[in-house]
Each structure stands twice: as structure tokens, then as C-alpha cells.
Chain A
Amino acid sequence: EAQVTQNPRYLITVTGKKLTVTCSQNMNHEYMSWYRQDPGLGLRQIYYSMNVEVTDKGDVPEGYKVSRKEKRNFPLILESPSPNQTSLYFCASSFLTGLNSPLHFGNGTRLTVT
């Protein structure tokens, strides 16, 4: 089954403790992206990657890192989480074919930073 898989689904952590949220897709997509969803703000892009070893900042990159060492994986790293990073996070992927390649989303990771 074609899918985007995120882990974990739920995570509670404390301020300053480094964490990684994994994302994997099995559709051979070149493009992958991370979003955070907050009430009243919709989905905001954190980072994206057009291909292996190519990553770029989205609209809200502060406090986050990503890496793209392999095509299928795009982990999101919080080196020193803070309470304002409490949010619902989504990974998404698509082919890099311009117009006709909509994003496919994972099921989300709900992060709470205390």
C-alpha cells in the first residue's frame, strides 16, 4: 500500500531534550516536506526537500533541522525542543513533476513539550 509513515504518533517530552520524528514514504517520491498544524493557523511548512541531499527552509524553520540522506526518509529533528513547538506535525511527499502531483500526507505526530 502506497503511504507516508510517521513515527511516533504521539510524543511527550521536556524542554531541551533532543528528539527526532521519522518519516518514510514508499512511493519513490522526490519531494518531501514537513508541516506543523496549529489551531487557527492551518498547516505551515517547516522544511522541504526536492531530492536526496537537497533541503530548504519553509515558512517556519526556526528550531528545526532535517536531513535527506535517502530518497524514502526525511526525519525532522528538534535539537532543543521548547513549549512553543507543541503542535501536530505532518510529513508529506509527492513526485517532482510540477503541476499534477498533489501531496500525500502521513497521519501526523502530536508533540507536547513541557
Chain B
Amino acid sequence: GQQLNQSPQSMFIQEGEDVSMNCTSSSIFNTWLWYKQDPGEGPVLLIALYKAGELTSNGRLTAQFGITRKDSFLNISASIPSDVGIYFCAGQRAQKLVFGQGTRLTINP
């Protein structure tokens, strides 16, 4: 089945640093979503993007829907310990949702 290419696969950063991760696809999507998964829990929606070129913020998180509709990025500014977890991008077309492989974020205090 189709998958998105999400990078990096893992990140080890210092508290306070900014984080950037992205997803690319060979196919066009109508919606891009970013989820975060904490240990032992299901993914929780962080940001949803519905229009090509859209730039959306949610607190310290900023995400953009690529102009070609084939990519998206997520930035986290001034990271804090509770940002630790796995971040997933997902492209949606109708009711079909395709996930990236995930980015595992580790923060050193």
C-alpha cells in the first residue's frame, strides 16, 4: 500500500531547541494532518491543513500544506520535555488516510 516518506525517523535534541520534520508523497492529497503519539496511547491530532499553501499554527507548533499538495512540514519551536513522543504525518483523500513512518522525538533536559 501507499506510504508517505517522513523524515527524519528520529531526533535527539536539547530542551529549548526548535524542531522541524517533513513528509513527502508521490501522490496529491486534499488534506494533511499531523498527529502526536505518547507512549501507551493512540495518536492525537495536532494540526489539520485543508488548502494548498496553508500555514497553520497551534501554540508552538506550525505546519504547512505544500503548494504542490504532495508535501507538508511541521515545526516545533522552543521544545519542552512534554514534546517527547512520536509524530506522524498523514495525507487524506476522501476517507482514505495514509500515514508516514513517524518521527521519534527525544529531548535531553
Which A residues fall within an 8 A CB radius of B?
A: 4, 31, 33, 35, 40-45, 48, 50, 58-60, 90, 92, 94, 96, 98-100, 102-108
Given contacts A42-B4, A105-B35, 11 further A-B contacts (CB under 8 A): A31-B95, A33-B97, A40-B9, A42-B3, A42-B88, A60-B1, A90-B43, A92-B42, A106-B42, A107-B40, A108-B41
Is B1's CB under 8 angstroms from A4's CB?
no
Q: Would you give the shortest CB distance from B84 to chain A, in whole angstroms?
A: 17
Is B42's CB under 8 angstroms from A42's CB?
no
Q: Is B44 an interface residue (CB 8 A)?
A: yes
Identify the interface centre among A60, A102, A106: most chain B CB within 10 Å of its CB. A102
Is B1's CB under 8 angstroms from A58's CB?
yes
Is B102's CB under 8 angstroms from A42's CB?
yes
Q: Would you give the shortest CB distance from A91 to chain B, in whole angstroms?
A: 8
Cα of A111 to Cα of B31 in the assembled complex, Å: 31
Cα of A104 to Cα of B45 in the assembled complex, Å: 8
Which B residues fall within an 8 A CB radius of A?
A: 1-4, 6, 9, 30-31, 33, 35, 40-45, 48, 50, 88, 92, 94-97, 99-102
Chain B residues with CB under 8 Å of A42's CB are 3-4, 6, 88, 99-102
Known A100-B50, A108-B41: A43·B99 in contact at CB below 8 Å: yes
Chain A residues with CB under 8 Å of B9's CB are 40
Q: Would you give the shortest CB distance from B32 to chain A, in whole angstroms?
A: 11
Chain B residues with CB under 8 Å of A103's CB are 33, 45, 97
Identify the interface centre among A31, A60, A96, A105: most chain B CB within 10 Å of its CB. A105
Cα of A58 to Cα of B95 in the assembled complex, Å: 11
Chain A residues with CB under 8 Å of B31's CB are 99
Cα of A43 to Cα of B2 in the assembled complex, Å: 11
